[in-house]
């Protein structure tokens, strides 16, 4: 049987048939790669992705009257206005969004930010608390509530919201640095070190490293303080806190910041995130 197949394959016409068959199968197999359709974006989404914010806002404003549900286009118009510091327009479109859906989490979150900027604290905190219940990224209102309460000296409440922010999304690393700073302020250094070490697993954020070094310094663990101040000074030479770190290192006669005292960047699993906040200073 095998000999018969080999004999048949030796005939030119049969060879040609199989070559054409293989080419056809390969063409069909790769057609889905070559001919993949472009993702369907609305004109507003496309403009925003290309960072044409004014054009995107114009499109969203146009969508408000034609949309069955005005919530999303009105919120997007409000948010883009907020980014451009056009607060009259922000108020206008935010009011439309919340009239269409009073429980829309992102709109409540934005309202909370605006009211805080205006020093309307009660309105701000109420909006942010409502936002936590319906915002798809609830760690954001939790973080900002914690941040605002920290700024007002309400440390006990701030701790709870910042803990919730970390619980909601452990890769949002601002929460670790602020909670660590809060614990340093109230002299709970062991808790500061614990939370900042957890944050360090996911990010070499400038504030996480500096606060971790500060916590070790204040707790008398000089060797570890040198390690983290050294890493901070190595990574963030243009950071506003660089001189403070440098002064500590000079005091201990450390001039070569990256040495074998510092361990390599820890290995990360698939779910981990290397997100070095602070690169705007580098």
Average pLDDT value for the chain: 83
**Does residue 39 surpass a pLDDT of 80?**
no
- CB contact at 8 A, 244 and 217: no
Instruction: Please give the Cα distance from 224 to 85 (Å, whole number).
Output: 43
| pLDDT single digits (tens) 91-132 | 999 999 999 999 999 999 999 999 999 999 999 999 999 999
**Arithmetic mean of pLDDT, 7-19:** 49
Q: Which residue has the higher pLDDT, 88 or 33?
A: 88
pLDDT class for 12, splitting at 50, 70, 90? low
Give the residue from 191, 255, 202 showing the smallest Cα distance to 211.
191
**Does residue 146 surpass a pLDDT of 50?**
yes
pLDDT given at position 117: 94
Distance of CA 25 to CAs 28, 29, 33, 152, 254, Å? 5, 6, 14, 68, 66
Instruction: Please give the Cα distance from 200 to 101 (Å, whole number).
Output: 39
**Does residue 23 surpass a pLDDT of 70?**
no
Q: Which residues contact 116 (CB under 8 A, 6 or more apart)?
A: 124, 144, 148
Q: Which residues contact 83 (CB under 8 A, 6 or more apart)?
A: 53
**Does residue 255 surpass a pLDDT of 90?**
no
Q: Which of 5-19, 44-58, 110-124, 205-219 has the lowest mean pLDDT?
A: 5-19
pLDDT given at position 247: 95
Q: Which residues contact 81 (CB under 8 A, 6 or more apart)?
A: 57, 87, 89, 90, 92, 93
pLDDT class for 13, splitting at 50, 70, 90? low
pLDDT class for 2, splitting at 50, 70, 90? very low
pLDDT given at position 22: 53
| pLDDT single digits (tens) 75-93 | 999 999 999 999 999 999 9
pLDDT class for 65, splitting at 50, 70, 90? confident
**CB atoms < 10 A from the CB of 8, how many?**
11
The alpha carbon dihedral of 130, 131, 135, 140 has a sign of: negative
């Amino acid at each position: 049987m095998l000999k018969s197949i080999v004999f048949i394959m030796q005939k030119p016409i049969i060879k040609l048939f199989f070559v054409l068959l293989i080419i056809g199968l390969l063409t069909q197999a790769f057609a889905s790669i070559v001919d993949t359709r472009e993702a369907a974006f609305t004109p507003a989404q496309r403009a925003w992705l290309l960072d044409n914010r004014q054009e995107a806002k114009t499109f969203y404003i146009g969508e408000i009257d034609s949309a069955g549900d005005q919530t999303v286009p009105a919120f997007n118009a409000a948010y883009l206005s907020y980014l451009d510091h056009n607060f009259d327009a922000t108020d206008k479109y935010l009011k439309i969004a919340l009239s269409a859906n009073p429980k829309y989490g992102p709109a409540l979150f934005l309202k909370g930010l605006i009211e805080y900027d205006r020093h309307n604290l009660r309105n701000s905190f109420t909006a942010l608390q409502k936002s936590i219940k319906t915002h798809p990224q609830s760690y954001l209102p939790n973080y900002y509530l914690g941040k605002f309460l920290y700024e007002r000296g309400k440390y006990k409440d701030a701790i709870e919201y910042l803990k919730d922010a970390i619980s909601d999304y452990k890769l949002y690393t601002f929460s670790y640095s602020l909670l660590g700073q809060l614990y340093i302020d109230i002299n709970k250094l062991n808790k500061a070190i614990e939370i900042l070490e957890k944050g360090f697993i996911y990010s070499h954020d400038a504030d996480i490293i500096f606060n971790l070094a500060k916590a070790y310094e204040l707790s008398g663990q000089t060797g570890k303080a040198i390690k983290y101040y050294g890493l901070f000074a190595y990574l963030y030479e243009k950071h506003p806190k660089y001189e403070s770190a440098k002064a500590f290192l000079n005091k201990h006669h450390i001039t070569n910041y990256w040495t074998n005292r510092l361990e390599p960047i820890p290995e990360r699993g698939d779910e981990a995130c290397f997100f070095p906040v602070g690169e705007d200073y580098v």
